Amino acid sequence: MSGLKYTEEHEWIRVEGDVGTVGITPYAQEQLGDVVFVELPEIGRKAEKGKEIAVVESVKAASEIFAPATGEVVEVNKGLPEAPATVNSDPLGAGWFFKLKLADLGQVAKLMDEAAYKTYVEGLH
């Protein structure tokens, strides 16, 4: 899981160049339970750090996905709406939601690394 950065809302982002791949953490998908629906943003949509960008619904609840950084959506995981359970089975891999062309890489640098996120989650129990 190295190279990932995390938000307090349980999104992760993996940056390659100036593009960040975004998904939800294993903790988030465990809290949600079985994911049954995913609403992805449109390509070209502007994302603002901390603002809602997508929706995930489970048998338990619906939850907003917030943009971990400001940017423009350049790709979405087209397979996810047909197979939303991928979020449960592989949240850090095939269950990614969308990719952002980042406006400010400095925003990502301020997010939690894996160790800080693990400590944060432990504090929630």
Half-sphere exposure of 89 (CA within 13 A, CB side): 7
Q: Which domain holds residue 41?
A: 4-122
- Rounded CA separation 43/10 (Å): 22
CATH, residue 65: 2.40.50.100
- Domain tally for the chain? 1
Q: The pTM is what?
A: 0.95
State the amino acid at position 17 in one-letter form: G
Residue 88 has pLDDT above 70, yes or no: yes
Confidence of residue 2 (pLDDT cuts 50, 70, 90): low
Confidence of residue 1 (pLDDT cuts 50, 70, 90): very low
